[in-house]
Amino acid sequence: MKEGDEWLRKSQVELSLCAAAAFCYKCRMPRQDEIAAEKGLHHQLHAGQMALIAVGGSIGTGLLLGTAPAMHLAGPAVILSFAFAAFVSWIAAMALGELSSAHPAAGSFGVYGDMYLNDWAGFIARAGYWAAIAISIGAELVASATYMAFWVPKIPALFWVVVFSIFLLLVNLWDVGRYGRFEFWFAMIKVVMIAAFVLLGAGLLVTGRVAPQYTTQGGFFPRGVLAPMLAITFAIYTFGGVEFVAVASGESRSAQEVAKAVRITFIMLTLLYMGAIIVLAGVMPWTRAGVTESPFVSVFRTVRIPGAAHLMNFVVLSAALSGANAAFYISSRMLFSMARTGWAPARLGQLNAAGSPNLALLASSYGIVVALVLEKWAPGVAFEYILRGAFLGMMLSWLVSLAAHVSFRRRLTTEMIANLPMRSPLGAAGSVLGLALISAAVLKGWWDSRVNLISGVALLVGLTLAYLFIRPHARKA
């Protein structure tokens, strides 16, 4: 009897949530139709698999090879940049976790934008994020081909791009349970490597084999107390990936698994990133970071690990391929969701027998072609513009989610909030703060770089024009 009462109580809360979200300002369709449109996806992912998909997509060559530019901007004080990014990431993760556990959907933040804001917000969140993630696929595969040249320099990069593309496309055509198991272990290579780096570096500092470098080259703030602000954009970009869990929630086993996955993802990324940057700033003078090789290779050389260069090349290759694999999954689900809700051609919403959106997957591989074309024929600055524009595409997912979370919370009673599978400790106030901080970081990046400004504004204008063109043809409820 108690179990029946508990089931009835939870059902009533779920119905109340549905009613609260049923019709929103200028929404195209009610909540039930918005999520029911994704019918056909298989719900097989558990929390660990969702978390490792997110971690696999988040930890890329940016952390493993690109920490040096951030250190050159801020010196050892880059630690503060990452601490700030971790705080902002926590706010976004809690809001996303609350929304995705209440409304599991592959369209995630796009669906939340439709439900709680308006259809323009839902569209730019989905379309901007899809474009950004699809571009990152090409960037990671071009990087992978570059890493293979370390071992087999005579084989052209195009060969490896084609081989890796076919391999990852085939993996993504598996059923989601099998895909989740593969990416779990694939991403684990990066996790183990970074954990090993943190432990080895900490051991060097604690035992005195390396003198701490936090204040040896001009102090903790060698470029001034405001210098950490210059590296904030890089740090926040590094934490990008917590939103992957929200997308994967559309194929999760349960709302409880989603909530657990959000917590695991945030804890893993924070421990790995903060540990890595603290150790890196301690064992290596910031003036020498990345001058001749990856800072991570330098640490492995210090402890005299044989074949450090080969080990690091294997790790960065795995990191790039795992990142591309996760990006294939996320971008295909995002495009699938857009197709099912009328914002992309309906054929892209088709699923194969394994429950994978095969046509959406193939369409999302356009980033490979773009990356190859730019790599071969366009000036280097063209690729930089697209990647910087992609950064805003990823940040739109956070901004729309935080704004939607504020509206979501305003519609709930105290009882509804108490029965959510996951609750943000800061509530709506935390999301307002997160909105302000992320907006400030984006605007700061625009102020510091004309490239950021032009690419970001161009992306927003392009998405808005696409929205105005597609909206009259989108299916109505």
pLDDT tens column, 245-278: 888 888 888 888 988 999 999 999 899 989 989 9
Q: Are 352 and 165 in contact (CB under 8 A)?
A: no
The first and second tokens of residue 83, run together, are 């601490």
> What confidence score (pLDDT) does residue 408 get?
94
Dihedral sign, Cα of residue 22, residue 25, residue 29, residue 33: negative
> What confidence score (pLDDT) does residue 341 get?
85
Across the range 439-460, mean pLDDT stands at 84
Q: Are 392 and 428 in contact (CB under 8 A)?
A: no
> What confidence score (pLDDT) does residue 190 get?
85
Q: If phi over 0 gives left and psi between -120 and 50 gives alpha, with beta otherwise, what is residue 217? A: beta
> What confidence score (pLDDT) does residue 19 get?
45
Which domains are delineated in the chain? 42-473 (1.20.1740.10)
Q: Are 87 and 238 in contact (CB under 8 A)?
A: no
> What confidence score (pLDDT) does residue 399 get?
94
pLDDT above 50: residue 1: no
- Banded pLDDT at 419 (limits 50, 70, 90): confident
Segments of 120-263 assigned E as strands: none
Would you tell me how many other CB atoms lie within 10 Å of the CB of residue 96? 32
DSSP class per residue in 270-300? HHHHHHHHHHHHHHS-TTTTTSSS-HHHHHH
Rounded-to-integer distance, Cα 280 and Cα 295, Å: 7
Across the range 331-348, mean pLDDT stands at 91
pLDDT above 70: residue 297: no
Tally DSSP H helices, then E strands, for the chain.
20, 0
> What confidence score (pLDDT) does residue 149 get?
85
Rounded to the nearest integer, the mean pLDDT of the chain is 82
What is the value of pTM for the model shown? 0.85
Dihedral sign, Cα of residue 375, residue 380, residue 385, residue 388: positive
Query: CA torsion angle for 212, 215, 218, 221 (degrees, to 10)?
Result: 130
> What confidence score (pLDDT) does residue 8 get?
39
> What confidence score (pLDDT) does residue 112 get?
92
| End-to-end CA, the chain | 39
pLDDT tens column, 373-390: 776 776 555 655 666 667
> What confidence score (pLDDT) does residue 61 get?
59
pLDDT above 90: residue 16: no
DSSP class per residue in 18-32? HHHHSS-TT-SS-HH
